[in-house]
Amino acid sequence: MRDIQLVLERWGAWAACEGSQVGWSPTSPMFRSLLPQEGKSSRNSCSDSDGIIIDTAVGMLKKTDRHDELELVMLHYMFDVSKSTISRWKKCSEGKVRQQLMIAETFIDACIIMTGVQLEMDDWTRKTILRKSA
């Protein structure tokens, strides 16, 4: 089972440097002035092939008219804006932002799973399940 949050963090660093093909722009002019400029980042990135695969899955949010979730994914993962900051910008609770982001993450993960593709970073992004020992 892959850790989709870690996958999206790496994709976000890749998309910020390489440029995402999703074609998203902030809906509010306020966001444009507050967002950091794209460029080189110290965040861990993914390979180009993984980036393209994940970019396609993220693009499915736009294709299925899930613009609110797409906006959250772009702000949080690509522009590295915290969930609490997003909730202040949107004037809603952080819990609501977390819930919408979880829906988006699950949708993106399902899109990747449905393609049956193996990501190059899968070995590094596996969730480890701790079991209680007797």
Q: Report yes or no: 66 and 111 within 8 Å, Cβ to Cβ.
A: no
d(CA 16, CA 55): 12
pLDDT by residue, tens only, the chain of 134 residues: 789 999 999 999 998 887 665 655 555 554 555 555 554 557 888 889 999 999 999 999 999 999 999 999 999 999 999 999 999 999 999 999 999 999 999 999 999 999 999 999 988 888 777 677 76
pTM of the model: 0.80
3-state secondary structure of 48: helix
Residue 133, C-beta contacts closer than 8 angstroms, at least 6 positions apart:
none
The whole-number pLDDT of residue 103 equals: 97
The whole-number pLDDT of residue 1 equals: 78
The whole-number pLDDT of residue 122 equals: 87
The whole-number pLDDT of residue 37 equals: 53
- Phi, psi angles (nearest 5°) of residue 80: 60, 40
What does each C-alpha distance from 53 to 13, 18, 85, 127 come to in angstroms?
14, 14, 28, 20
Residue 4, C-beta contacts closer than 8 angstroms, at least 6 positions apart:
105, 106, 108, 109
d(CA 36, CA 31): 10
